[in-house]
Amino acid sequence: MTSISLLQESLFHVDGVSPSIDVSRVAGKLFVLTLGITRILEQQNLEVSIWASPDGSSWGTEPLTSFPPKSYCGLYSVLLNLAQKPPVRYVRVQWKMNRWSKSPENTSLLCAFYLDAEESGARMQRKIEPELVDVVAVA
């Protein structure tokens, strides 16, 4: 089963875009994306989206998938279907941060987060394999 770190945990102060990641070896697979927010300021939200490209330079007008805006630390998951809009050879992460406070002293942005992708079914496979080994050993 395939697991990919799309964005290492980092502390961000501005909107951004990750480097592109070649996903051609896992084309056509379904992934579970896990967004981990480890730090975020009060009265701020984070929007994360995944963009696809066939050539690494044209990223289209709509993301493959995105997380609804998040304002709290935690783990959040969405599905990423790489067969949805072929051909997908590269993906990248884009994030935007926003403060809704009207106070002028509350204009700074700060958010620490990471994004991982795991092939759908990988968690089930890890749970099933040890049981199969025990059954085979007993038989």
Count of beta carbons in the 10 Å neighbourhood of residue 119: 16
Domains of the chain and CATH, by start: 3-138 (2.60.120.380)
Return the higher-pLDDT residue of 135 and 54: 54
Please say if the pLDDT value at position 138 is more than 50.
no
Task: Using pLDDT thresholds of 50, 70 and 90, give the confidence band for residue 98.
Answer: very high
Asked if residue 85 lies in contact with residue 18, where contact means CB atoms within 8 angstroms, the answer is: no
In the chain, what is the greatest distance between 2 CA atoms, to the nearest angstrom? 71
pLDDT digits (tens, 9 = 90+) for 17-44: 999 999 988 888 899 999 999 999 988 9
Which pLDDT belongs to residue 107? Answer: 73
